[in-house]
Structure 1
């Protein structure tokens, strides 16, 4: 079927409306600059319209729903083929996140835009809520195109694929799953893939492997060198900018155990939304850098959304957000300092009523975080997850809480290496963590603080594969983030392995001798002393795992271990340095609740 026909079908089913004056929500009170937003048209983000269907893990979708997965590949390839002038094209939807820094859905729109950044609010309490309608936008067009393709089949194949299309939703990549252990899904590492189309079996360029830029797409404003010379997206690229799928896979797998523990702790321990948002964004940043390496597209906010793995990754972030909401009913966004975006230059605050530009809902009003304020809200947009399933739509919040909590314990709780415990009893272990804080404005471009047990590798390309953990400030190419403190709590237990049952003094001594860290910025090593706001400290705290998976884990207050870091560059000598850090300009910076609970120890 010709592209123009596909597009007409997609547009009609996607509630695309163009009006002289569309309905717009009132601009946020904190900045009249929001009044520039276009009133000339609306592309409503409403999700799929064929009933509530659970999104699936990509490997499960491929193995258990092969016909649906076949439609998914065909539909995504179709959307990637759309011309850049089409607002529903993969290029334009990906460009919402960063480059080419133009308005969506009408690139010619004029207004008071910040054309140095994209619409996405990173390092903001809006991180999770904004990316939900963003994920929905691509799912919306992919599902509709998939339905259209199914209806283009004939005979018995038509009935089969129409049935398969009813289950089509965008899949996710669970990089903390014990099954995959953070390996890249095998399907996304193949440059071509065999599909069955309405015209028969054929081999196509794999739409999950990379996105190939058409004509001058990557020559647009915002694409800097060398990315304006690359014909397609690349992963784990070295200075030669050669794609290295094997390195991306190794980078991810090497961080599996720590990543899984971080996910578990983030879902179980963070008792307010703002802390959860910050913690899950930190995990998210590290995945970006592991996949992108020092020079791949995923390592820069400017370009990351063009790599198809971005969408699998962010679908999983949306899933973790939904699971946390289900296990923490009633907890929502608290007002926080505003973050500059393309459509909101210099806002004073971000809160639950902040418009999530450029997305409008079915009524033509701007999306806000109110639209996604609970786990149940995802069902209104006709999707669920196995841990927040559509089948729970009529269940109570407490029933969903118990189910989601049981899923967290089942999926992500590490095996407890305890000397004494009986089956079906609570188990208590001592958890060791690195706590790190730094001002995100310290350096231009994306930069990461890497931690090692032993010497730092001489080759920077080996850092991401050999680290035991990291904190990443994800940035755009050539950009500097506004001054704000970012933090990370990095689990040490997976790296300590057999030493975990040693005495606390022995572990202190081991970490004092072996724990080291360094900084990479655009593939270049940075002298750690240049980071004036960097603070690193080690803590331990008791963690009690419940016997009943429907119950939540209990975390004791962290205790500072001064011996480990007090003589190291960037290391701290007392808990107050972690609890009350300052920004680059000397202001007191806020830190998550866990940091405020750190207690000084006597060691």
Structure 2
């Protein structure tokens, strides 16, 4: 069999759509579900199967399409790496390519000519949807909770099938295929992907209500983290990944796309497949999530066109790269082939149009200068995630509770809180920096940050009204993983970073404090800011028993944007170590 070449869907450049918009297109949705269902039925040994594509991300650590030494200790992992964003770009393009092939074949199978015409047109506009969790974290029912779905079949009949958006069924079960380490046998017991599994037995089911409640309770944290990432971070090192040995990434409250990405993996799966690195890509929601990660990456590129992958020595080894090998824009992104003998590089996948797709915010901007393009993207980001953006979660925005001001380009700021009443465009932003050893608990774990009392019952932590947000560390099961990169990182006590914005939560205490200035906020933080730790399977761990855990607070005076196409300007952060 000829090697698999990653091309994406060949044809014109078409925008991927946000999931909720995508689902409004009935033909496109029906075709997407049928294409997924067909791909998931391909035998697991087939290189074009759902299983083989998911396995690229981790277990069972078998070389994809004969890329890498069979039976070697490694994997293709690019987490906590400068290559994290670009490596996942051809990964998505490969799945999109296979689904697109199925969609076109299925469309041509419709026996009714008018139906066939409709579906052929739908196949031509097919691209993977993305889940914009920063805009609206809870998932639509068809993804979150609907185990069965009715489809229009090519023979013209309606048929109810297992919903491929709800989960992937292993056929016959998950297999290790000679993986160096065996894991808990639960992964073999579960014959389909689960989110928030109800137990550790073969009878386990997903618990969508639990997942949705947790996602909803983190809505403001997600939106603020995304907004701050796009508006504040201007260097590749800070943006691209959650760990860097050369600088202390977490000192100024600046986040990374990987850290936010980690939060969604664990919040979206807990101790199910999505919450564990090696198994995450088998869950269909993985691809909706990573579509949005890639989109945020693309938006950031438009905002920072001169910044990209910087050359650093690889701290860790993979299937195809030894430890110490240089990682830069020309590093092969294995196992994704450009030709029979070459692999795509970060330099070559810098533009999404390489794989014939774009995103709605960028679709009409490519003919503009980089300066004008950035201005339009700033407008879109402000509209989607800025302080005056619509709030879809149940908890009100902090700025709904504060004195309303709209003098500054329509940007509502808590102006009356600032002592410099003559300059309402300035206000304070508060945040908590978090750093910790990535493999300190030997699996994925959560750090819940509260402003107020912590529930005695740990099962209530993630849905508490006092929760500010949950920082998540997305990690392999270190005692059983065959990932060489992960094992090396564990031995090196790799530190990862994240950031939880506090300003929205402080707004819930309006009336108890008179401003967002240090003299008024610090007493509240000293009394009410607390954090607790649990593993993704619910084991509570005392803070003192978590190696490398540090939580520090900081604040910055921010000048609101003077125009809808401008971003706020953050002054140098002040840290409140006491």
Q: TM-score range by the shorter chain?
A: 0.7 to 0.9
| Structure 1 residue 213 corresponds to structure 2 residue 170 | yes
Q: Secondary structure at the match of 2:335?
A: coil
Match of 1:556 in 2: 571
For residues 519 and 132 of structure 2, the distance between their equivalents in structure 1, rounded to whole angstroms, comes to 37
Q: Secondary structure at the match of 2:530?
A: strand
Residues 113, 343 of structure 1: 8 Å contact kept: no
Residues 113, 345 of structure 1: 8 Å contact kept: no
Show structure 2 runs of 5+ residues with no match. 242-255, 389-398, 412-424, 480-486
| Structure 1 residue 173 corresponds to structure 2 residue 158 | no
Q: How do 1:362-381 and structure 2 match up within 5 A?
A: 362=339, 364-373=341-350, 377-381=351-355
1:250 to partner: Cα distance: 0.8
Q: Secondary structure at the match of 1:160?
A: helix
Residues 424, 548 of structure 1: 8 Å contact kept: yes
1:113 to 72, 79, 82: 72
Q: Quick check: 548-557 or 415-424, which moved more?
A: 415-424
CA deviations 1:143-198 (Å, max 9, x no partner) are: 11101111111311111111111110010100011xxx311122112101111121
Match of 1:129 in 2: 86
Q: Quick check: 524-533 or 214-223, which moved more?
A: 214-223
Match of 2:33 in 1: 73
1:433 to partner: Cα distance: 0.4
Structure ranking higher on relative contact order (CA contacts 8 Å, 6+ apart): 2
2:499 to 484, 489, 493: 489
Q: How do 1:591-602 and structure 2 match up within 5 A?
A: none
Match of 2:328 in 1: 351
1:363 to partner: Cα distance: 6.5
Residues 97, 302 of structure 1: 8 Å contact kept: yes
Cα pair distance change 1:471/1:340, threshold 3 Å: farther
Q: Secondary structure at the match of 1:435?
A: strand
For residues 425 and 51 of structure 1, the distance between their equivalents in structure 2, rounded to whole angstroms, comes to 37
1:545 to partner: Cα distance: 2.5
Q: How do 1:152-551 and structure 2 match up within 5 A?
A: 152-154=109-111, 155-177=113-135, 181-188=136-143, 189-199=145-155, 200-218=157-175, 220=177, 221=179, 223-240=183-200, 241-278=204-241, 279-293=256-270, 295-338=271-314, 339-362=316-339, 364-373=341-350, 377-389=351-363, 391-415=364-388, 416=399, 417=402, 420-422=405-407, 424=409, 427-466=425-464, 467-479=467-479, 481-482=489-490, 483-499=493-509, 502-503=514-515, 504-521=518-535, 522-551=537-566
Q: Secondary structure at the match of 1:468?
A: strand
The root-mean-square deviation of aligned C-alpha atoms, in Å, is 2.1
For residues 349 and 535 of structure 1, the distance between their equivalents in structure 2, rounded to whole angstroms, comes to 30
Residues 452, 468 of structure 1: 8 Å contact kept: yes
TM-score by length of 2: 0.84
Show structure 1 runs of 5+ residues with no match. 1-16, 19-41, 567-603
Which aligned segments of 4 or more residues in structure 1 are displaced greater than 6 angstroms? none
| Structure 1 residue 91 corresponds to structure 2 residue 51 | yes
1:425 to partner: Cα distance: 6.3
1:532 to partner: Cα distance: 4.1
Residues 114, 344 of structure 1: 8 Å contact kept: no
For residues 114 and 215 of structure 2, the distance between their equivalents in structure 1, rounded to whole angstroms, comes to 42
For residues 420 and 58 of structure 1, the distance between their equivalents in structure 2, rounded to whole angstroms, comes to 33
Cα pair distance change 1:442/1:223, threshold 3 Å: closer
For residues 409 and 515 of structure 1, the distance between their equivalents in structure 2, rounded to whole angstroms, comes to 29
Q: Secondary structure at the match of 1:91?
A: helix
Match of 1:57 in 2: 18
For residues 335 and 447 of structure 1, the distance between their equivalents in structure 2, rounded to whole angstroms, comes to 30
Residues 218, 470 of structure 2: 8 Å contact kept: no
For residues 529 and 302 of structure 1, the distance between their equivalents in structure 2, rounded to whole angstroms, comes to 28
Q: Secondary structure at the match of 2:348?
A: helix
Match of 1:3 in 2: none
Q: Secondary structure at the match of 1:431?
A: strand
Cα pair distance change 1:106/1:93, threshold 3 Å: same
For residues 410 and 102 of structure 2, the distance between their equivalents in structure 1, rounded to whole angstroms, comes to 51
Q: Quick check: 536-545 or 167-176, which moved more?
A: 536-545
Residues 7, 338 of structure 2: 8 Å contact kept: yes
